[in-house]
Amino acid sequence: MKFMPICPTLPYKLLVAFLSRLTLKPNKYPTDNFWRHQLWIITWWNNTKMNRAIILSVIFAVAAGTNFLPRPRLDGRVVGGFQVDVRHVPHQVSLQSTSHFCGGSLLSHNFVLTAAHCTDGTPASSLKVRVGSSQHASGGEFFKVKAVHQHPKFNFNTINYDFSLLELEKPVEFNGERFPVRLPEQDEEVKDGALLLVSGWGNTQSSQESRDNLRAAVVPKYNDEACNKAYAQYGGITNTMLCAGFDQGGKDACQGDSGGPLTHNGVLVGVVSWGYGCAVPGYPGVYSRVASVRDWVKSVTGF
């Protein structure tokens, strides 16, 4: 996810003002402490893009007077799962620029569905997808992206309508390792407790498990009301979202898998979107509900 400030110096100034108010007061501390504090802020700001996105989300949320915390972003792994061959999930693709950063689902010869937060602000010319491989860094075949069709109602702050359709420059030829996933009907429901399959790449939280190989986990559909209550402090969930996971945690999908598929009996019901931590008890993963935008998908793809 990329953050592109309008004014390069504005975010830092806001950051200094915000953190200074919460911690040190320049007029109450010796000069050397104050400048040490400023140096810490600069170092912290330069070290990681994710820190910038999180703190700026908080700043602008406070400025806007909202009562909700910013949506927590996923942080990099399929946890509690198992290694899987791409032939068992031939719709799984790896979205890349210079390397893998999100997952996606093959819908047809020419279209891939992923999460809008994966493509927001990124030109199609810098994107490509690897299809037909169990490894995100080798095998299969690359296909360049011709156009990005982001859902017009996507909101980066609320992560609502987190869908993006990628139109490929050339058609994908199907075989046992690359094959489209089926789509649900508009507003088709998934029953609570139904077993769903989520797949992708990423850090597994275990030194015994490679992050280079495709992994999957089976998770149950979580009750919408219970999920909404669990995420109440973040504004809850909307009707374009569904949740999956165990009350006790242990199995989940995270950022390395954003945009990837959540399927039920071979039908794509969700797109990996957001959630608190990874496999944390009481916080199921939140997915974009594909059935809520089935008509939009048809309007873009023709099917």
Q: Which residues are catalytic?
A: 117, 162, 258
Q: Identify residue 92 by its one-letter amino acid code.
A: Q
Exposed, middle or buried: residue 301 (CB in 10 Å: 0-12, 13-18, 19+)? middle
As a whole number of angstroms, the distance between CA 47 and CA 283 comes to 28
In this structure, the dihedral spanned by the alpha carbons of residues 130, 131, 136 and 140, taken in order and rounded to 10 degrees, is: -100
Q: Could you give the residue ranges of the DSSP H alpha helices within 132-259?
A: 224-230
Question: CA angle, 212 as apex, 206 and 217 as ends, to 5°?
Answer: 60
Question: Which residues fall within 8 angstroms of residue 143, CB to CB, at 6 or more apart?
Answer: 128, 129, 131, 168, 169, 170, 172
What sign for the dihedral angle of Cα 101, 104, 110, 111? negative
The terminus-to-terminus CA distance of the chain in angstroms comes to: 29
As a whole number of angstroms, the distance between CA 131 and CA 199 comes to 14
Q: Identify residue 240 by its one-letter amino acid code.
A: T
Rounded (10°) angle between helices 31-47 and 49-64: 110
Question: Which residues fall within 8 angstroms of residue 289, CB to CB, at 6 or more apart?
Answer: 239, 240, 241, 242, 269, 270
